[in-house]
Structure 1
Amino acid sequence: MEYGSGGGGSQSAGEHDASDSQEKRKRYHRHTSTQIQRLESMFRECPHPDEKQRLQLSRELGLAPRQIKFWFQNRRTQMKAQHERADNCTLRADNDKIRCENIAIREALKNVICPSCGGPPLNDDSYFDDQKLRLENAHLKEELDRVSSIAAKYIGRPISQLPPVQPIHLSSLDLSMSCFGNQAMVDHVLAPSPSLNLDLLSAGTSSSVPNFPYQPPYLSDMDKSLMSDIASNAMEELLRLVQTNEPLWLKSNVDGRDVLNSDAYERIFPKSNSRPKTPNLRLEASRDSAVVLMNSLALVDMFMDPNKWTELFPTIVSVATTIQVISSGMMGGSLQLMYAELQVLSPLVSSREFYFLRYCQQIEKGTWAVVDVSYDFPQDSHFGPHFRSRRRPSGCLIQDMPDGHSKITWVEHVEIEDKTLPHRLYRNLIYSGMAFGAERWLATLQRMCERLTYLMVTSDSTVDNPGGVISSAEGKRSMMKLAQRMVTNFCGSIGTASGRRWTTISGLNEILIRVTVHKSSNPGQPNGVVLSAATTIWLPTPPHTVFNFFKDETKRPQWDVLSNGNAVQEVAQITNGQNAGNSISVLRAFNTSQNMLILQESCIDSSGSLVVYCPVDLPSINIAMSGEDTSCIPLLPNGFTILPDGETEQEGDGASTSSNANRNKARCGGSLVTVAFQILVSSSPSAKLNMEVTTVCNLIGSTVQQIKASLSCPT
C-alpha cells in the first residue's frame, strides 16, 4: 500500500509537469485550415510579400504582422529544402544515366573499326575522349529537344508526325544583291537593269528566315524563384517611377515631357545600374499618362495574353509569345517569361527584341500594375546576351475611373546598344524617344481602346451607309475585323521584325527602294510568292496635313497611280474613333471593273498615322457586310505610314509647362512618309522576279513623284 501510495504521489507530480508543458505548448499559435489555405494561396502568388501586403493579410486573417512574417520565412525555408531534395534526386538520376551512357560508350568503342585500314584503333583512350563524347551527346540531345519543341509550337503538332523532309536546293540571288536584316542597315545601291534576276528559293520558302524565340528546355524551381525575386524588385521600382516626380523626373524645357534625372535614378536604384557599361550603350526613358476608354480588368487581360496584346498594339508589337508561365495567381495576377519584337513601321529602322518577365499585380481595389523587365540568360546560353536591347523595369499603372474609363501612367526605360547609327531620316525620332517611348504606347492604346468600343456598339450610329450595303451591326463588326486584319498584315509587311531581310535598289530619280520576297500560304493571304517593296521619304509638311491629303477621296487620283486618274466614290464608311480621321471606307473607282472595290482604313493619333487600302472583290465585300466570317478572304494591302520627323524647336523659357500646346509647337516639323506596295508575283516558286521588281519600283517612284508634286514639295 505504501508503494501504491508513493506511486500515486509520483504520478501526480508527473501529471503536474505534463500540465505545465502543455500550457507552454499552448502558447504557440496553430493556424486554422482557412488561414493556412489563404497563406498558401498568397505564397504561390507572391513568396516575398511587402509590408503593405503583410498588414492586409494580418487584418484579413486576424493574425499579428509578426506571425505573418515568420510564417512566410518558414515557408520559404521549407520550399528551399524541398527544392534541394528534388535537385539531389535529379542529380542522382542524371549521374546514374551518365554512368550507363559511359558503359555503353565503352562497349561501343570495343567494336570501333578504323576507316583507313579496317582494323581496330591503336589506342582507344588516346583516340576517343569519353567525357567529350558524353558532353557532345548531351548537347545534341538538348539542341534536338529545343528545336523540336519550337517547331511543334509553331506547326501545331509534334515534329514526329511530320512527313520526311526532302532536300531543298537554295538557288543564289544573282547580281550579288546585298540583303540587310536587323544587324546591318548600310545602304547599298544597285540600279535596276534588264539583267536583274531575283530567283526565289526553289522550294518556295521565304527569303527571310524568322528568328523563332528561344524555348528554354527546363526551368527549375530555383530559376522560377529567382525570376519571382527579379519581378518583385522590378514592380517596386516601377511603382516608384510612376508615383515619384522631382527629383527623379524633371520637366523638359522644349516640349514639357517628363525627363528622367539619371543622377537621381542611380542614387535611388543602384542595383539597376550594376550591369557593366559598354561604349555604345544608350538609355531611353520616358513617362506619360492618359485616360483610355476601357476598364482595368479588361486591360490586364489583354496585356497578359500575347495575342491580344499584339492586336492591341499592331503598329508597335510585331511578334509576341509567352515562353512559359512562371506563376498564375488569383484574379489575373501572374508572372510570365515572354519574347517580343517591337518595331517602327519602316524597313529603315531595326526592330528591338526582348526576352523579359511580365508581372501583373493588383495594388489595391481597382488599381493594377503591369511591369516588364528583361531576363538575362546565362552567358553560355545561345540567346539573350547578343541582343542590343534590354528592358529595365517598364510598364504601366492602371487605375479605374468612372464610366468604364481608366487612367494609365506609362513608363518606358530601355538600354540600347547602338553598334551602328540609326538611319539619318529616323535619327531624331529615335534619339528623342518618340519612336519607342511611353507617349507612342499611350497614343496607340487610346486609339485602339476607342476602336474596340466602337466595335462593340450595336447601333448603326457609327455607320455612314448611303448605299444601304451594311445591313446590320454584325455586318459592321465583320467589316471592322476584316479591316483590322488588313492593317495587321500591312504592319507586318514593312518592318524588319523576325529577321526580315531587305534588298536595296535604286528606283526612279535615285529613290532608294527596299524589296523582299516571301512565300505566302496562310489563310487570309493570297497563296503564292509575295513581293514587298517600300521606300521612306521626308516631306517638309506637317504629318496631319499629309494624312488629310491621303484621306481625302477627292484627291486620290493625284497620288493613286493604279487609278489612272479616275475619281472614286465612297460607298460606305464606318467610324471607329472620336477623331474623324479614324474610319473604315469602302470605295468604288470609276471606269474600272465593277466587280472590284477598295477597302481602306485610316487611323491617326498623336504619334503618327496610317492609310492602308486593299482591292477586294465584290463577293468578298458582300460576305463581310452581311456579317459572315471573313477570315479566309485574301488580302494583300498597300498603304502609307506617316510619322513626325522628330525635329523640335526651342520655345524659350515660357515652354517649361507640360501643355499639349507646347508639345504641338515642338513638333510642327516635317513628316517621314513610308510608301509600301505588295504584289503577288506568281504561284510558282521558280518564277523570275526581274519584271515584277522593275514594275513595283516604277509604281513606287511614280507615286512618290505625284505626292511631292501635289503637296508642292521639292523633288
Structure 2
Amino acid sequence: MSVATPVSGLLPRHSRIRARGFGSIRIGSNENPPHRTSSESDLGRNKDDEAAGNETMEAPYSCEKQDSDKRSRKKRYHRHSHDQIMEMESFFKECPHPDDKQRKELSRELGLDPMQVKFWFQNKRTQSQHERHENSILRAENDKLRANNTSYKEALANASCPSCGNPTALGEMSFDEQQLNIENTRLREEIQKMSAIIAKCGGKPASSYHNMPSQNQLMSPLSFDQGVGNYGAQTAMVGEMFGGNEPLRTLLITNDFDKDIVMEIGGVAMQELTAMAVNGNPLWVPANGYEILNQDEYLVLFPKGIGPTPLGVKVEASRHSAVVIMDCNKLVEIFMDVDQWANMFCGIISRAVLHQVLEIGGKEILDGACQVMSAEFQVPSPLVPIRDDCFVRFCKRNSRESWVIVDFSVDQLRPSSFTKTRRRPSGCVITALPNGYSKIVWIEHVELDDNEVHDLYKNYVNSGLAFGAKRWVASLDRQCERLASAIATNIPQGSIGVFTNLEGRISTMKLAERMMLSFCTGVGASTANAWTPLTVGSKDVRVMTRKSVDDPGRPSGTVLSAATSLWLPFPSRTVFDFLRSEYSRNQWDILSNGGPVQELAHIANGHDTGNCVSLLQVNTANSSQSNMIILQESCTDATGSFVVYAPIDLASINIVLRGGNPDCVALLPSGFAVLPDGPELMNNGGHIREVGSGGCLLTVAFQILVDSIPTSKLSASSVTTVSSLIKCTVERIQAAVCSGGT
C-alpha cells in the first residue's frame, strides 16, 4: 500500500514542482518507472520533432488478433495541446534542465508521460542551440555590412570630380534631398527671370518677388476647392502680358502647367479679347459679310503683343457676331465641356481632348474656370490638312449679363517647340438677351503655316471662311436652332409628314446627330484617318479601311471609306438643293436603281427649309430594299452645307420612332459636303471669278461594309468597286446639275 504526502496546497504549481524535495511523492510504490522504447529513442533523435517541440510518440500499446495470440505494437502520434506547450515553455525559461522529480511533477500536472516531458526539453534545448548559432552568424554578417557601409560613406565623402576636382557629394544629404535641392535651385532661377519680366511690365521691383512660394507650395493643378483669387493683384503683377516689352514665349511654363502663371495670363488675354470685341473701325475692316483685323491698327493698340510673327507664317484674324436662340449660361456650359463643344461644332472640330483642369471656378460655377485642351480643326475634305493646337481656355464672368471665353496658345505646353498653329487671344463674348436669346461676338486670331493646303482649296482657305469667325458663328446659330426644334412642343397635330410624337422626334434626332458626327469626323484629314490616295480615271480618290468590332453603333466587319473633292461651277445652294431633294435623288443615287424616292416624314430644324431630318423610302422592284429606310439629315448655313444619309432596316427605325434607344442602331453614313467657294477661274466674259462668285467645292464620301468578318483582308476588287461608285456618282451629279440649266 502506498502512502501519499501531498504538499500541493502550500505553494503555487510551478514553485512546488521546481523546489527540490517537495511535491507529490509516493512511498513504497511497487510501480516501476517506464522504460524508454526504441520508438521513443527514435523520437528523441528526430530533428524535425525537436524543432517543433510539440509532437511526440506515446508508449506502444498491444491489441489481440483473432488468428493468433501474438501482440503487435503500433505507433500512435500525440500532438501536445496549446496549454501544455505554453506551460513547458514557461518552465523552460526558468529551468531548461529539470531533474527527475520536476519532470514527474510536470508530467502529472500536464497529463503527459515523464519521458515525453524529458524528450520535449531535450528537443527544446537543441532548438535553442541552433537559434543561437544562427544568430551569431547573422550578427557577424551585420557587422560586416556596417563596416562596408562606413567605408563607402568615407569614400563618397572624399570623392572628387575628375574634370573639375570639386567634391561630388552633398554632405549627408539623401538622394531625395539632393534632387529637391537641385529642383529648388532651378525654380529659384525661373522666379528671378519672371520677377524681372513682371517688374518691367508692372513697375514693381524684382526683389519683391524673390520670396514667392516654391512650386510644391502652390495649389495642385487639380485642386478645385479654391477660387480664382485676387485678379486685380494678379493682373497688376503680370501687367499687360500681351502688350509688354517681352514676348509671351519667354515665360517658362512647365509641362505640369503652372496654375498661377496660366491664370494670370488668362486674365490679361481676357482683357485683350474684350477690347477687340468692343472696338470697331479702324481695328476691324468689313469683308464678305464679316470683319477682318487691321494688323497695323492692332500693333498700335497692342504694340508689344506675344512676339513678332515668324517669317513665312500667315496671320488670320476675323470677327463676326450674331444672336442665337440659347441661354448664355447654357452656352458657357457647352463651351467648357470638351465633348459638348466638339459635338456642337462637329463640322469644324474633328477631335478634341481635355488634358487638365487648372481651375473649376470660384464663387459661381465656371466663373474663373481654366483648363488645358487640344483640338483638331478641319475642313470637310481629305485635301485640307487639319489645324491642331494645344491651348488654354479661360472663362470669366464680366457682369451679370456678360461672359468672356478666351483661348490662347502657350508653346511650352507642347511636347516640341515647333508649332504650325498658334492661337493669339481668341474666343467669344456672350451677352444675355431676353427670352432665352444670347448675342455672341466671336474672334478668331491665329498664326499658322498652311503651305500644305491643296491647290483646289487654297483660295477658299485664304479667304478666311475655312476657319474664320463667320464659320464658327454660322455653325453655332444653326445648331442652336436644331436644339430648340428638338424640344419644341407647338407642333400642330395632324400635320402631314411631320413628327408629332415628342419621344420619337427626340430619339430620331439623336440618331441623326450620331450619323452626322460620324460622317464629319470620318471625311476630313484628321490624324485618326489614314487616307491613301488612289487615282480612278481623272478623279483623285482617297480610301481607307476601318475594323469594327463590338460597336453597337456600327455593323461588325471591315468598312471601306472613300472620299473625293472637286470644284463645280454652280452656286452651292443649287447643288445642295439638288442633293437633298427626294425628287432628284434617283438621278445620282446608284443604289436606288432609278426608282422614285418618297419622303415618309421629316423634322424641321430651323427657319431654313434645307435644315431638316427626313425618312425616305425607295420604291423599287428589288425585294431586298423593300424593308429599308433611308435616314437623311440636311443642314446649311452661310459657310457650308451637308447632306448625310444612312440606310436603316425597318424594324430598327420603328423602335426609334417609338422613342427607343437609338445608340444600338448600326449605321454607316455617306453623304456630301458643299462649300460655297472655289478657285479662281475664267468665266465666259473673260473676267476672273473671285472668291464667293458662285462656284462650290463638293466632297463626296461613302462608307461601305465590304466584309462582315473584321479580321478579313481588303481585296483590290472592293477598292475598285467603291472608287468606281464614287466616280459614277460624281459624273451623274455633274450631268444632272448641268442639264437643269444652271
* Shorter-normalised TM range: 0.5 to 0.7
Q: Residue in 2 aligned with 1:495?
A: 524
Instruction: Map 1:502-651 to 2 at 5 A.
Output: 502-507=531-536, 509-521=537-549, 522-591=551-620, 592=622, 593-646=625-678
- How far apart, in 2, do the equivalents of 1:560 and 1:298 lie? 40
Q: By how many angstroms is 1:81 displaced?
A: 4.0
- How far apart, in 2, do the equivalents of 1:446 and 1:242 lie? 19
- How far apart, in 2, do the equivalents of 1:295 and 1:302 lie? 11
Q: By how many angstroms is 1:78 displaced?
A: 10
For the residue of structure 2 that corresponds to 1:580, the secondary structure is: coil
For the residue of structure 1 that corresponds to 2:733, the secondary structure is: helix
Question: In the alignment, residue 433 of structure 1 is paired with which amino acid?
Answer: G
1:447 aligns with 2:472: no
Structure 1 or 2, whichever has the larger Rg, is 2
Match of 1:240 among 256, 275, 292: 275
Q: By how many angstroms is 1:280 displaced?
A: 2.0
Q: By how many angstroms is 1:291 displaced?
A: 0.5
TM-score by length of 2: 0.63
1:310 aligns with 2:342: yes
Match of 2:415 among 376, 382, 399: 382
Given that 2:547 and 2:710 are in contact with CA atoms closer than 8 Å, whether structure 1 keeps it comes out as: no
Q: 1:239 to 1:462 in 2, by over 3 A?
A: farther
Given that 2:463 and 2:691 are in contact with CA atoms closer than 8 Å, whether structure 1 keeps it comes out as: no
For the residue of structure 2 that corresponds to 1:697, the secondary structure is: helix
Given that 1:596 and 1:617 are in contact with CA atoms closer than 8 Å, whether structure 2 keeps it comes out as: yes
1:438 aligns with 2:469: yes
- How far apart, in 2, do the equivalents of 1:377 and 1:345 lie? 30
- How far apart, in 1, do the equivalents of 2:216 and 2:598 lie? 74
Q: By how many angstroms is 1:310 displaced?
A: 1.0
Q: By how many angstroms is 1:320 displaced?
A: 1.3
1:219 aligns with 2:256: yes
- How far apart, in 1, do the equivalents of 2:384 and 2:216 lie? 50
Q: What value does the CA root-mean-square deviation take over the aligned residues? A: 2.9
- How far apart, in 2, do the equivalents of 1:461 and 1:387 lie? 54
Given that 1:315 and 1:491 are in contact with CA atoms closer than 8 Å, whether structure 2 keeps it comes out as: yes
Given that 1:504 and 1:515 are in contact with CA atoms closer than 8 Å, whether structure 2 keeps it comes out as: yes
Q: By how many angstroms is 1:390 displaced?
A: 1.1
Q: Residue in 1 aligned with 2:294?
A: 261
1:407 aligns with 2:455: no
Match of 2:505 among 469, 476, 485: 476
- How far apart, in 2, do the equivalents of 1:401 and 1:462 lie? 31
Given that 2:603 and 2:612 are in contact with CA atoms closer than 8 Å, whether structure 1 keeps it comes out as: yes
Q: Residue in 2 aligned with 1:105?
A: none
Q: By how many angstroms is 1:684 displaced?
A: 3.5
1:331 aligns with 2:362: no
Given that 2:270 and 2:406 are in contact with CA atoms closer than 8 Å, whether structure 1 keeps it comes out as: yes
Given that 1:483 and 1:601 are in contact with CA atoms closer than 8 Å, whether structure 2 keeps it comes out as: yes
Question: In the alignment, residue 86 of structure 1 is paired with which amino acid?
Answer: Q
- How far apart, in 1, do the equivalents of 2:372 and 2:215 lie? 23
- How far apart, in 2, do the equivalents of 1:240 and 1:471 lie? 47
Q: CA offsets, 1:138-173, max 9 Å, x none?
A: xxxxxxxxxxxxxxxxxxxxxxxxxxxxxxxxxxxx
Given that 1:360 and 1:368 are in contact with CA atoms closer than 8 Å, whether structure 2 keeps it comes out as: yes
Q: CA offsets, 1:604-631, max 9 Å, x none?
A: 1111100000000011101110001111
Q: By how many angstroms is 1:554 displaced?
A: 0.7
Q: 1:647 to 1:622 in 2, by over 3 A?
A: same
Q: 1:613 to 1:84 in 2, by over 3 A?
A: closer
Question: In the alignment, residue 680 of structure 1 is paired with which amino acid?
Answer: L
Q: By how many angstroms is 1:666 displaced?
A: 6.9
For the residue of structure 1 that corresponds to 2:419, the secondary structure is: coil
Q: Residue in 2 aligned with 1:14?
A: none
1:362 aligns with 2:397: yes
1:349 aligns with 2:384: yes
For the residue of structure 2 that corresponds to 1:631, the secondary structure is: helix
Q: By how many angstroms is 1:77 displaced?
A: 8.1
Match of 1:83 among 203, 214, 230: 214
For the residue of structure 1 that corresponds to 2:694, the secondary structure is: coil
- How far apart, in 2, do the equivalents of 1:298 and 1:371 lie? 17
Question: In the alignment, residue 700 of structure 2 is paired with which amino acid?
Answer: V
Given that 2:569 and 2:694 are in contact with CA atoms closer than 8 Å, whether structure 1 keeps it comes out as: yes
- How far apart, in 2, do the equivalents of 1:328 and 1:688 lie? 47
Q: 1:704 to 1:273 in 2, by over 3 A?
A: same
Given that 1:284 and 1:433 are in contact with CA atoms closer than 8 Å, whether structure 2 keeps it comes out as: yes
Given that 2:406 and 2:428 are in contact with CA atoms closer than 8 Å, whether structure 1 keeps it comes out as: yes
Q: By how many angstroms is 1:463 displaced?
A: 9.3
1:458 aligns with 2:489: yes
- How far apart, in 1, do the equivalents of 2:484 and 2:476 lie? 12
**Is there any run of 5+ residues in structure 2 with no aligned partner, and where?**
1-203, 221-252, 682-688
Q: CA offsets, 1:289-335, max 9 Å, x none?
A: 11100011010000000011011111011111211111122232201
Question: In the alignment, residue 432 of structure 1 is paired with which amino acid?
Answer: S
| Count of matched residue positions in the alignment of Structure 1 and Structure 2 | 490
- How far apart, in 2, do the equivalents of 1:640 and 1:374 lie? 33
Match of 2:701 among 669, 672, 676: 676
User: Which structure would you say has the larger RCO, counting Cα contacts within 8 Å and 6 or more residues apart?
Assistant: 1
- How far apart, in 1, do the equivalents of 2:387 and 2:492 lie? 40
Question: In the alignment, residue 263 of structure 1 is paired with which amino acid?
Answer: D
Given that 2:457 and 2:679 are in contact with CA atoms closer than 8 Å, whether structure 1 keeps it comes out as: no
- How far apart, in 1, do the equivalents of 2:342 and 2:738 lie? 38
Q: By how many angstroms is 1:448 displaced?
A: 0.1
